[in-house]
């Protein structure tokens, strides 16, 4: 892991993301690209009127000054940080910048959910997740450390889950994390027998890994919803992070025959890392 992007909007949650990225950067000798996207309209920037141009310059300078002050944090000492300012808030640009700079990870802050209000859905974080071709680490709270020793990977062991599983395995191996794969078995029409689940997992690992060495890392959980199963298991092993897959522009993947969605990303207090299908 050599380069990390952190989109910054000056909120306390983007500060949490920046601090988590600093921990990862220091641990891995990586560089942080701190990205701030202004919300100036094209009309203001391209306006021929001198007063409009002066207004645009004023807001640009003001934002750059605020950005510089925001990056003046003790936890960024001894960390290489490159500030990047974009004039427009175009979330697909985050992925473009990541591709141009060969970035390995995007780290973003998110409010998660509060009561019945789902703050991740439709948020800036979700928009970045939808466009990103690389993993996105979503931070909910001020990080205590970046030592992700135990990671829970929610998987339905379908063919489309092979790509995110392989990518997740590489990332967490590099981070020195122990990966626990979770298959949640639901009552009703989705229910599968032990033999059916085991066969599906064996077939999956044979294709993905070329062997079944990781069979002992698979955990079969019975619960009333995927969300509860994953979160309860993560809590039971004191996991540090939950990993899920995404379908890109259609949002977080509805794994397990449509029963898992943004619920895990919203309700998990742990950091969540997404991987593109």
Mean pLDDT of 28-42: 82
Q: Write the CATH number of the domain with boundaries 3-139.
A: 3.40.50.620
Give me the percent of the chain exceeding a pLDDT of 90. Answer: 52
All residues at 6 or more sequence positions from 77 whose CB lies less than 8 Å from its CB, including other chains: none
Domains 3-139 and 150-276 share a fold: yes
Phi/psi of residue 64, nearest 5 degrees: -65, -40
DSSP state of 160: G
| Contact (Cβ atoms closer than 8 angstroms) between residue 130 and residue 246 | yes
The residue to which tokens 């000056």 are assigned = 10
Name 7's bridge partners. 35
Question: Per-residue pLDDT tens for 75-100?
Answer: 999 999 999 888 766 777 888 899 99
CA distance 191 to 188: 6
> So where are the chain's domains?
3-139, 150-276
The whole-angstrom separation of Cα 145 and Cα 219 is 26
Residue closest to 184 by CA, chosen among 239, 245, 225: 225
Could you read off the pLDDT of 163-188 as tens digits, one per residue? 999 999 999 999 999 999 999 998 88
* pLDDT tens track for 231-249: 999 999 999 999 988 876 5
pLDDT at residue 211, rounded to an integer = 97
Task: Provide the strand spans (E) within 100-174.
Answer: 105-109, 113-114, 117-118, 136-139, 150-154
Give pLDDT tens digits for 118-140: 445 457 787 888 788 999 999 98
Q: What's the pLDDT at 121?
A: 47
Q: Which CATH superfamily is domain 150-276 in?
A: HUPs (3.40.50.620)
pLDDT in tens, 257-277: 443 546 777 778 899 998 988
The confidence score (pLDDT) of residue 61 equals: 80
Q: Residue 107: pLDDT above 90?
A: yes
pLDDT at position 114: 46
**Packing angle between helix 124-131 and helix 92-100, nearest 10 degrees?**
50
pLDDT for res 60: 76
């Amino acid at each position: 892991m050599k380069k990390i992007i952190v989109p910054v909007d000056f909120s306390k949650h983007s500060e949490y993301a920046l601090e988590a990225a600093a921990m990862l950067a220091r641990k891995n000798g990586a560089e942080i690209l701190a990205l701030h996207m202004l919300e100036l309209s094209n009309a203001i920037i391209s306006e021929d009127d001198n007063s409009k141009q002066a207004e645009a310059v004023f807001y640009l300078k003001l934002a750059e000054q605020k950005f510089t002050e925001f990056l003046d944090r003790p936890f960024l000492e001894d960390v290489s940080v490159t500030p990047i300012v974009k004039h427009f808030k175009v979330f697909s640009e985050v992925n473009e910048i990541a591709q141009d700079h060969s970035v390995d990870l995007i780290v973003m802050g998110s409010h998660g959910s509060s009561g019945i209000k789902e703050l991740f859905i439709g948020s800036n974080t979700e928009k970045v997740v939808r466009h990103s071709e690389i993993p996105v680490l979503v931070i909910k709270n001020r990080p205590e450390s970046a030592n992700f020793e135990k990671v829970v990977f929610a998987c339905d062991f379908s063919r489309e889950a092979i790509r995110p599983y392989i990518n997740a395995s590489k990332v967490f191996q590099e981070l020195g994390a122990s990966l626990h794969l979770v298959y949640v078995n639901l009552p009703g029409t989705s229910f599968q027998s032990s033999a059916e689940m085991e066969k599906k997992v064996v077939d999956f690992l044979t294709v993905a890994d070329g062997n079944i060495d990781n069979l002992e890392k698979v955990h079969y959980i019975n619960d009333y919803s995927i969300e509860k199963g994953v979160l309860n298991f993560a809590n039971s092993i004191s996991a540090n992070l939950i990993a899920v897959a995404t379908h890109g522009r259609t949002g977080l993947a509805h794994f397990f025959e449509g029963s898992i969605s943004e619920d895990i990303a919203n309700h998990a207090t742990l950091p969540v890392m997404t991987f593109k299908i």
